[in-house]
A and B are shown apart, each in its own frame.
Chain A
Amino acid sequence: MTIPAGQKILSIQELKTYFYSHQGVARAVDGVSFDLNKGEVLGVVGESGCGKSVTAQSVMQLVPDPPGKIVGGKILFHEKNLLTLPQKEIRKIRGSGIAMIFQEPMTSLNPVFTIGNQISEMFRIHKGYGKKQALLAATEMLDRVQIPSPHKRVHEYPHQLSGGMRQRVMIAMALSCDPEILIADEPTTALDVTVQAQILDLMQTLKREYNTAIQLITHDLGVIAEMTDRVVVMYAGQVVEEAKTRELFKNTLHPYTRGLLKSIPVLGKRTASDRQELTEIKGMIPSLTNLPKGCRFSNRCPQAMDICTQQAPELTGDGSGHNVRCWLHNRIQDHG
């Protein structure tokens, strides 16, 4: 896959989103920074609870408040800081500038309205279409996401469609107003493997057609390898590694990323000697209200050193765009 030489359209800078509860403050997103370029597919990967979804919801300002609150940082969309824009401006950007699809196609569509109604709503609010015109446009969108007999389907309710179909409807809805950015929060996690492949294929095709930048959130490294140009690896609310996809798989630096890669089974290795043992990352992601001192991964890291439990490492890079937050590599850079 070629890396498009695009300009930044979304820049997240030192974003901090905290959740306040009786147990204390959960720092779900704690100083996350990354950029999204025009036409690029950026993967955001990490275990459940590492802050990848909260980051996405912060961009759309969909973090439930209370208990969540964006307490710091900037989110620049075309040089405008979304965090300081008035609600009215945000509403214009939601859907038409940045669209989002969610993990659960079963529950992401409103059960009491036809899918035609739900898609045409987009055309009506963002493009000012009339009822008939919007429904026509919605039918066309269903055709674009390869739903058979769209004229019939447009009058159906979500419960009449399968999970894969519903996710297609969600994609149709998200893309209906040509957004510049599509945030896909685990779009295939809840689907069958064969349907997953179809949905990913569809997203590839549409991305080329619309030239939409995609921020793809997933915990599936297979999806990352298949789809993305660049990857951000998150752990416990922080970015721990960031690189172009091929570079990340070839030259993995962070012990956490390495752990993730080792924990996926590889098909096609027949002999016992070829087969690698599947290893898991030991332990659990730390509680966000009570993070370890120093590096947040130190308590699970097989290569932890003294300094790791004392002092938190910074995200550093060699200038090629491959950045990592780890003392192992900080030291290497210091020496050489």
Chain B
Amino acid sequence: MLAGKYATQAEREHVRIVYGLDKPYYVQYANFLTNAVKGNFGKSYISQVDALDTILERFPATFELALSAIFISITGGVLLGVVVSIKPHGILSRLIMAGSLGGISIPTFFMGILWVMVFAVYLEWLPAFGRGDTVQLGSWRTGFLTLDGLKHFIMPALTLSGYQLAVLLRLTRAGMREVLSEEYIKTAWAKGLSPFKVIIKHALRNVLIPVVTIAGLSFGELIAFSIVTESIFQWPGMGNLLLISIFENDHPVIVTYIMLAAFIILSINIVVDMLYALLNPKIRYD
């Protein structure tokens, strides 16, 4: 299969030897492991380029998309969550809560297509796909520095952030409701603090502890699994690459991708743990 549909028997044998497929499975596995530890995940079957390099080349696009999405989720989710918790029975709050239900239950692919239909097809305000103009900064290709690049960010980032935003909103709201009935909030009011200080300093600071945890964890997932969004918007990121690799049976790329995703999620978990200690003095060690 690797050699192509019309390959001769000899050509097939050659391919098998080149990729080490003639050896027993356990030898293949041991070879894979030793190479992987050295950072060598083999070459892509399709492009014959180093698999890790292929993926890392796509990493900036995905990372920037995930970063914009998590930024939108956190600012939007926390802000709306606070608004909703201050006046839980207002009309605005009810509207926001209904919207968040949509954010949680509408699947990403459908939401993405809706965005495209409204803003790219009917209104023609925003580009429907691609990453737009980018600027090369060393080995990092960024889309943040051009207007065209930023325009291309809006829809994919909103699509990717939709679910997380709704989750963080609900988390913030639940946290605020709990914290606002705590004794120390009563103390804060009794001190004569302004509502802004009571809510933003005394209450929100406590609510942020779980919010940061969840947001951090989901950031890892956004980087690793933004596949659906990337394929809708033809975003030249890792997720799209994975999809193509799966279609083409490009095993080295798929395996490398999964290893990289695991590594990213692990490292982000460590960062979240450190942030958690920073936010919550109870688990700080002296």
Contacts and interface: CB of A to CB of B under 8 A. Distances in A.
Interface centre among A60, A96, A104, A111, by most chain B C-beta atoms within 10 angstroms, is A111
Interface of B: 181-184, 186-194, 197, 202, 205-206, 209, 279-282
A121 B198 CA distance: 11
A102 B186 contact: yes
Given A109-B184, A110-B184, A111-B184, A122 B282 contact: no
Contact of B186 (A62, A95, A122, A126): A62
Given A107-B183, A110-B188, A112-B205, A91 B282 contact: no
Of A94, A99, A112, chain B has the most CB atoms within 10 Å of the CB of A112
Contacts of B190: 60, 62, 94-95, 99-100
Interface string A99-137: 110101001111111100000011001100000000000
Nearest to A104: B183
B192 to A, nearest CB: 4
Contacts of B282: 111, 157, 159
Q: Is the interface of B mostly helix, strand, loop or mixed?
A: helix
Nearest to A91: B192
A93 interface: yes
A109 B186 CA distance: 10
A193 B205 CA distance: 34
A170 B187 CA distance: 9
A111 B189 contact: no
A121 B193 contact: yes
A92 interface: yes
A159 B280 CA distance: 11
A122 B191 contact: yes
Given A111-B282, A157-B282, A94 B183 contact: no
Nearest to A183: B190
Contacts of A92: 192
B286 to A, nearest CB: 10
Contacts of B281: 111-112, 114, 157, 159
Given A107-B182, A125-B191, 18 more contacts: A62-B189, A62-B190, A91-B194, A92-B192, A93-B192, A94-B190, A95-B191, A102-B183, A102-B186, A108-B183, A108-B186, A112-B205, A112-B279, A114-B281, A125-B192, A125-B197, A170-B187, A173-B191
Contacts of A114: 281
Interface residues on A, range: 20 to 34
Enumerate the 4 nearest inter-chain pairs by beta-carbon distance, A residue then B residue, closest first: A95-B192, A94-B192, A107-B183, A157-B281
B187 A108 contact: yes
Given A157-B281, A159-B282, A108 B192 contact: no
Nearest to B184: A110
A104 B205 CA distance: 21
A91 B188 CA distance: 11
Nearest to B280: A112
A92 B190 CA distance: 10
Nearest to A112: B205
5 contacts: A62-B189, A95-B192, A107-B183, A109-B184, A110-B184
A64 B184 CA distance: 14
Contacts of B187: 102, 108-110, 170, 173
Contact of B184 (A96, A99, A108): A108
Contact of A112 (B188, B189, B192, B206): B206
Contacts of B194: 91
Nearest to B179: A110
